[in-house]
Homo-oligomer: A and B are copies of this chain.
Amino acid sequence: MPTRKPTPDGVARPRLTVMRDVAKLAGVSHQTVSRVLNNHPNVREETRARVLDAMRSLNYRRNLAARTLVTRQSDTLGIIGFETTLFGPASMLHGIESAARDAGYMVSIASVRDLDRRQVLEAVDRLTQHSVDGVIAIAPKQSVTHALAQAPPSLQCVAVGGAGESDAAPTVSIDNALGARLATQHLLDLGHATVHHAAGPPDWPESAERIEGWRRTLYAAGAVVPPVEHGWWDAESGYEQGHALARDPSVTAVFCSNDRIALGVLRALHEAGKRVPDDVSVVGFDDMPDSGFFVPPLTTVHQDFGELGRRSLALLLEHMTHTPAAELPPPNHVLVSPQLVVRASSGPARPDCTRT
């Protein structure tokens, strides 16, 4: 009697308990079970209790595939990831996931190896087939945001962690310009004549915005704007840029586009015999977990990746539930403010180098 179908090959699939079983045990119809499950108001309290009991005693689990089939929503969100192995993206992913769980959503990930339009659209496609209700792209480059704009309009997308201010999709990002300004101004305030910059890759908006913020701050202070070298986001790149900087005696302060670059710069300066912060001050960006234990502990701009993730989820949810009829539409761009964390790698300029 438990198996309804004799399955000709003899290997019976382990018939799982469904609504009808619960209904039979509770002495109601399957629809009532459904109502209990979906917290429909019109169910007598006593009936509800009986159904709940039956569910418990049968260890019933609702089949979400069936539910998705008919409701066309899966309570699942998709995440498009890139380089999720790095601290920043990994933290955002985690922030999104944990906020999603609290909101009752499951999270599926689809990473891409490169950020070109084709791969991003492919990822969107994979997620669509799994009928996700919305998508968050951890999208450091603008190509992603543009690709997102080509997604089917029925699918809400949000980009997090790259450039702000794109009209292609709602975005959540750090105020990179502000961060750069905090770092640069901090060094100027310490009396440095100017601040050099060890930049990240030129085609990443995060890098570009930090350069712009740094440049503007110097300009506003009437300081010379030194030329910029570009590199990748890692310590090796910082090491190379650091060598060049160490050779130039006029360099007394360096703002690095992230903490890993700063680590490389610190090592290059150390090898060149320059003391930090006595000879040269160094400031990073990100506040990675252990940057407080570099030699010396790194002054840096803290960004809260987890918060970024949570905010992007909140924004996505707002856009998903927003109906044209509602009064005020959710914002299209959210900017999160970073904070300066002063530690030991930045200090006052030597008297002979102070700007006039």
Contact = CB atoms under 8 A, between A and B. Distances in A.
Interface of A: 13-14, 61-66, 68-69, 72, 74, 76, 81, 84-87, 90-91, 93-94, 97-98, 101, 106-111, 113, 125-126, 128-131, 154, 234-236, 238-239, 260, 263-264, 266-267, 270, 289-290, 292-295, 297, 306
A270 B72 CA distance: 61
Nearest to A70: B65
Copies in the complex: 2
7 closest A-B pairs by CB = A235-B293, A90-B90, A235-B290, A65-B68, A65-B69, A85-B94, A108-B108
A68 B289 CA distance: 42
Nearest to A238: B293
B293 A61 contact: no
A184 to B, nearest CB: 24
A69 to B, nearest CB: 4
B106 A108 contact: yes
A89 to B, nearest CB: 8
B69 A66 contact: yes
Contacts of A94: 84-85, 111
Contacts of A76: 108, 130
B74 A85 contact: no
Nearest to A83: B94
A239 to B, nearest CB: 6
A81 B157 CA distance: 25
A131 B84 contact: no
B13 A72 contact: yes
Contact of A292 (B98, B107, B235): B235
